[in-house]
A and B are shown apart, each in its own frame.
Chain A
Amino acid sequence: MTNGALDRDEFRKLFQEHYNLICNYLNKRIGDWELSQEIAQNTFVKLWEKREEITINTSRKSYLFQIARNALIDHFRSQKIAAGHAESYSSSMEESEHMPDIDEEGFGVTQQIAEAVDKLKPKTRKIFLLSKKEGLTYDEIADYLDISKRTVEYNMKNALQQLKELLEGKI
């Protein structure tokens, strides 16, 4: 992790590594994917604007998450002003001020798995995602793809083994 003023290449790298993580974190809070992306983008714009303020003691990732939290609080605040829902604002505010670190919620691991899944062979990836993302049973996957259930199991085994190798030392 690098500290100090952020240059454009580092900013891009940070964006590529953390944009999805922040979007998902925000989405879990507000349940609106489009809005989550908008707030996440605002977060990165703010990060760039404040790039000179990143001190040697501040991890960029922590700083980024701090901005995201503040952006979310701003969102709740503007919601309160617009709709006058003082009660919900108050509870949302309370909640956002006690936000756990994003990694603590397991999103970091899930993001790493999502990235590793992209490296699986297309067929294995498809079967794994049908099971884990779409929630299909092995029988349903076999039926859907017109393959045997044993092939589904074989590919699931393959996927788990490969993910373990790809994520070795990372999680």
Chain B
Amino acid sequence: MSRIRDKILDYFIRSESTGDKGSEVLDKELSEDPAFDMDEFVKYEKIWNASSDLKEFRKADVDVALSAVEARIDTPQTSVRVIPMWQKWSAAAMIVIVLGFGFYRWFVSDRYVTYEAIVAESIVLPDSSIAHLGRGATLRYLKPGYFSGAEVREFYLTGDGTFEVRKDSSKLFSVMSDHTAVDALGTIFHYEARDKYSSTRSIEGRIRFRSRFGHFDHQHLTAGDGASFDAETKTMVPYMMDEVSVVGNLVVSKMTVNDLLLIMRDEFPGEFVVDQTADLRPEVVIQVNLDQELPDIISALQESDQMDFSYDEEGGIYTITRLLAEDQGWVADYTYEMYQNDVDFNHLSE
């Protein structure tokens, strides 16, 4: 099923990429495949063709337009507007609150520490939990003296990090980003917060993923489950382990090792880097779901019966120590090493 699906997808993507010639080859392959289902093909074709009309399709700000229309519908009677006394008091109170908040921010700013990870690294938090921060991530939290007195173990993250939470059932461990937060008591989870997009996945134990502004219901996630939220579209998408996810979960097949590594380099910047000049062209068929965490992908590669794949891992940096791939009797034996600092993926021997 996934094989014929891949062929159909290839038909559209590759034909656009390589022109009519590639398309004809795939066309023949498809039509001769006994698993080919014309109805399914037509569905893909309809979406592919109609999506070309996106060039002409424009999107208006519907909320703004709706407000404008509702304002016209509810046109108030024109009259001299007398500002009631309570509104004046409300305005005065608002000014006091704003000024007070500014003072408060100034007062508390000295109580926080902000840690910025120049490279991917692990830090021990004031409660002995461990944060494995991705390159460029920042984590803000109360200084140790203030931290121990707080009711919640609270952190503010930008970028991505994996948290090994020290168990303390009396104090919630809460990591926040601009739009969402992840709460835990004692578990391991991954959290990524980039501008308006945030996502999390429980690696071990149970976590709660919530919107800070009530845009979606709390999501309770157990090991393997994840969820993401896009604040721009206000869309929350859960990824449950035991069901086929609507978004993602595409199995990639018929991909060269080199292509796979290139994609992994792009998908996991700072953690998995490939030198573009590396000569890796064994045409092995690899099937791996790339819509998962890097450790899971590495495990899948290890389990592949078409490759001998071994690696070392330290602090989220993967060093491939052996990659043996076989294709139609031809065997290529490669040894690679990846360096953390100069992020080179060197071809050491063949």
Contact = CB atoms under 8 A, between A and B. Distances in A.
Please report whether the interface of chain B is mostly helix, strand, loop or mixed according to DSSP. helix
A45 B247 CA distance: 37
Contacts of A40: 60, 65
A135 B16 CA distance: 11
Nearest to B291: A158
B303 interface: no
A135 B53 CA distance: 11
A85 to B, nearest CB: 25
Given A19-B65, A41-B65, A109 B46 contact: yes
A157 B263 contact: no
A27 B60 CA distance: 12
B50 interface: yes
Contacts of B47: 113, 160, 163-164, 167, 171
A117 B291 CA distance: 17
Contacts of A160: 9, 12-13, 44, 47-48
Given A41-B68, A110-B53, A154-B263, A161 B9 contact: yes
Interface string B232-259: 0101010000000011101010010001
Contact of B17 (A20, A138, A164): A138
Interface size class of A (residues with CB under 8 A): 35 or more
A129 B54 contact: yes
A27 B55 CA distance: 13
Please report whether the interface of chain A is mostly helix, strand, loop or mixed according to DSSP. helix
B222 to A, nearest CB: 22
Contact of B57 (A110, A154, A162, A168): A110
B262 A151 contact: yes
B62 A19 contact: yes
Contacts of A20: 58-60, 62
Interface stretch (A57-65, A91-99, A142-150): A142-150
Contacts of A167: 47
A103 to B, nearest CB: 12
Nearest to A112: B50
Interface in B53-103: 53-60, 62, 65-66, 68-69, 72-73
B54 A148 contact: no
A121 B17 contact: no
Given A109-B50, A119-B235, A153-B14, A166 B59 contact: no
Interface size class of B (residues with CB under 8 A): 35 or more
Contacts of B235: 118-119
Given A41-B69, A119-B237, A153-B13, A171 B46 contact: yes
B290 interface: yes
Nearest to B43: A164
A16 B237 contact: no
A162 B239 CA distance: 13
A97 B257 CA distance: 59
B256 to A, nearest CB: 9
A162 B248 CA distance: 6
Interface of A: 12, 15-16, 19-20, 23-24, 27-28, 33, 37, 40-41, 44-45, 48, 106-107, 109-111, 113-114, 117-122, 128-129, 131-135, 138, 147-151, 153-154, 156-158, 160-168, 171
Q: Top 4 A-B pairs ranked by shortest CB distance? A: A148-B262, A151-B266, A150-B259, A147-B266
24 contacts: A15-B65, A20-B58, A27-B58, A37-B60, A37-B65, A41-B65, A45-B69, A106-B50, A106-B53, A110-B51, A117-B54, A118-B230, A120-B247, A135-B55, A138-B16, A148-B263, A148-B265, A151-B266, A153-B14, A157-B250, A160-B44, A160-B47, A164-B44, A165-B246
Interface of B: 5-6, 9-10, 12-14, 16-17, 43-44, 46-48, 50-60, 62, 65-66, 68-69, 72-73, 197, 228, 230, 233, 235, 237, 246-248, 250, 252, 255, 259, 262-263, 265-267, 276, 290-291
Given A15-B69, A45-B69, A121-B247, 19 more contacts: A16-B66, A20-B59, A37-B60, A41-B65, A44-B69, A45-B73, A106-B50, A113-B54, A114-B59, A129-B54, A132-B52, A133-B55, A151-B267, A154-B290, A156-B13, A163-B51, A164-B47, A168-B43, A171-B43
